[in-house]
Structure 1
Amino acid sequence: MLFDYHLHSHFSADSEMTMDELCQASIDLGLNEIAITDHHDIDYQDDTIEFLIDKEKYLMEIEKFQQKYKDQIKIKKGVEIGLQPHILQECREYIADDFDFVIGSFHTAEQADLYNGDFFEGYSQWEAYIQYLKSVLEVVQNYDDYSVIGHLDIIRRYGDFETQPELLENKEAFDLIKQILKVIINRNRGLEVNTSGYRIDGKNPLPSFEILKLYYQLGGEILTIGSDSHNTEDITQKFNYTIFRLKEIGFNKLTTFANLEPKFHQI
């Protein structure tokens, strides 16, 4: 079973790929199932771009392609929702029971944007990493209307630093990540393996293989794989290699979702 559970169509402000192009490319690549997971970031901390989805129009568009391609590929109603401590009730209300799959992601921390660098002002590299992880922990302790946490160590992608170290190298970061993973596992939530991470160092998805090892050691089982594609060329990027490495760690299943319920598949 082949599937890609992190794909962005033109409903995301940073993607021009149409939903039809996305679906057709996935079929051409031999995928059995996809989740379309466009961005919905309430109170996003960059006024130059807006990541908000008209849910009714979005779900109607997905339903159109579910019908069009029903004999060729399963298409799940997904969303990537940006989480921040002060908007959790709004996130709950938006999600309701309308989706098959929800990626809970962190594109901001302390009400400052990661991508444009605002969050890093006033922090050293490791201070920024620690503060980001504290924000993630605060959210997962108080919110569970998601299926998986997206690209957990995405903070490594940003900031004007010479190196992007493994977060587990730092004891305080290690302890925070361990706490985050324990909360996720105890609440029957999961992690995504996001292959866009290879664009950072060529060696790791997001989260890194070291974090994935820790997740496995702690008993984590819910694991999706997604390319975070905003264009057709990146769909299924390095999936075969990634699955090989996951099996080396000890994982023998990946997960899909229907009506927010996980389903496990042997790999």
Structure 2
Amino acid sequence: MFFDYHMHSHFSADSQMNMEEIIETAIKIGLDEIAITDHHDIDYKDDSIEFIIDKNEYLTALEKMQNKYKDKIEIKKGIELGVQLHIFDQCNRYLADDFDFVIASFHTAEKKDLYNGDFFEEYSQWEAYLQYLKTVYAVVKDYENYNVIGHLDIIRDYGNYDHKPDLMENKEASEIIAEILKQIIKKDKGIEVNTSGYRIDGENPMPSFRILKLYKELGGEILTIGSDSHSTDRIAQRLSSTSQKLKEIGFDKLSTFTNMKPQFHKIEDFAPKK
């Protein structure tokens, strides 16, 4: 069983791939299942771009692809939901019961954008990292309408810093991360392993292997894996090698989702079709 559970079509403002390009490439690579997870960020704090999806149009397009390719690949209705503390009700109304899989992600904190740098203006590097983690903790403590937290330590990818350390290097940060993971585990949620993270330091996905090891030690079991691809050349990138690293840490299964419920697959079976 080989799957990529984080990919973006043209319904995301930062991707130009159409759904058929994604699906045809996925089939060629040997994927058995994909979740297309386009960006929906309510009240996103950058006026230069809008990550809002017309849900009816999006779901109609997904259903069309499901029907067209039903004999070749399993396609799940996914979404990457930008979560903020003040939009829980809006998120819930948008999601309803219409998706197989929801990634809860953090592209803003304290109503400020991470990508354009606004969030970092009032903080030192580690202050920014800590404030971000506190925001994540506040969300996972009170919000539950999702399946996995996306790219948990994505804050490392932002900010104009020469050195981008593993967040586990800081005692206070590691303590907050542990509390985040405990909340996730307690509520039967999971985290994603996002292989686009290797661009940060060349050695780790998002979250880092140190965070993933802590998740395992705390009893975490629900893991999805995805490339976060915005172009066809990145689909399924480094999924196989990363899954083997996860096995070395001690994980023995990865998850897919149907109607927001996890199904588990042995890591040793995670490989392209022969």
Aligned to 1:189: 189
Q: Deviations over 1:32-84 (max 9, x none)?
A: 00000000000000000000000000000000000110000000000000000
User: How far apart in 1 are the matches of 2:258 and 2:128?
Assistant: 36
- Which structure 1 segments of 5+ residues have no match? none
Distance 1:93 1:176 in 2: 29
Distance in structure 2 (CA, Å) of the matches to 1:217 and 1:240: 23
Q: Per the alignment, in what secondary structure is the counterpart of residue 85 of structure 1? A: coil
What residue number does 2:204 align with?
Answer: 204
Q: Give every structure 1 segment of 4 or more consecutive aligned residues whose post-TM-superposition deviation is greater than 6 Å.
A: none
Residue type at the aligned position of 1:64: K
What is the CA–CA distance in structure 2 between the aligned matches of 1:126 and 1:186, rounded to whole Å? 28
Structure-2 separation of matches of 1:86 and 1:42: 10
Match of 1:176 in 2: 176
Amino acid at match of 1:212: L
1:237 equivalent in alignment to 2:237: yes
1:134-193 alpha-carbon deviations (Å, 9 max, x no partner) = 000000011010000000000000001111101011111011000000000000000000
Q: In structure 2, what is the equivalent of residue 264 of structure 1?
A: 264
Take 1:20 and 1:104, find their aligned partners in 2: how far apart are those partners?
Answer: 25
Residue 102 of structure 1 pairs with residue 102 of structure 2: yes
Residues of 2 paired with 1:79 and 1:239: CA distance?
A: 20
- Secondary structure of the residue aligned to 2:86 is helix
C-alpha distance in structure 2 between counterparts of 1:94 and 1:182, whole Å = 27
Number of the residue aligned with 2:248: 248
CA distance in 1, matches of 2:240, 2:98: 31
Partner of 1:112: 112
Q: Which SS does the other structure have where 1:89 is aligned?
A: helix
Determine the structure 2 residue equivalent to 1:92. Answer: 92
Higher relative contact order (Cα pairs below 8 Å, separated by 6+ residues): 2
Aligned positions, number: 267
CA distance in 2, matches of 1:73, 1:6: 15
CA–CA separation in structure 1 for the residues paired with 2:95 and 2:181:
23
1:54-133 paired onto structure 2 within 5 Å: 54-133=54-133
Using structure 2 for the length normalisation, give the TM-score: 0.97
Partner of 2:22: 22
Tell me the residue number matched to 1:4. Answer: 4
Task: Supply the distance in 2 between the matched residues of 1:57 and 1:136 (Cα, whole angstroms).
Answer: 30
- Please tell me the residue identity of whatever aligns with 1:125: Q
Q: Deviations over 1:106-140 (max 9, x none)?
A: 00000000000000001000000000000000000
The residue type paired with residue 230 of structure 2 is: H
CA distance in 2, matches of 1:183, 1:89: 20
User: What is the one-letter code of the residue matched to 1:97?
Assistant: D
The Cα of 1:239 is off from its aligned counterpart by: 1.1
The reply on whether 1:33 has 2:46 as its aligned counterpart is no
Deviation at 1:230, TM superposition (A): 0.4
Q: Structure 2: which 5+ residue stretches go unaligned?
A: 268-274
1:240 Cα deviation after fit: 1.6
- Aligned partners of 1:16, 1:67: CA distance in 2, in Å? 22
Counterpart of 2:215? 215
Map 1:157-168 → 2, pairs under 5 A: 157-168=157-168
Q: CA RMSD in A?
A: 0.4
Partner of 1:98, secondary structure, is coil
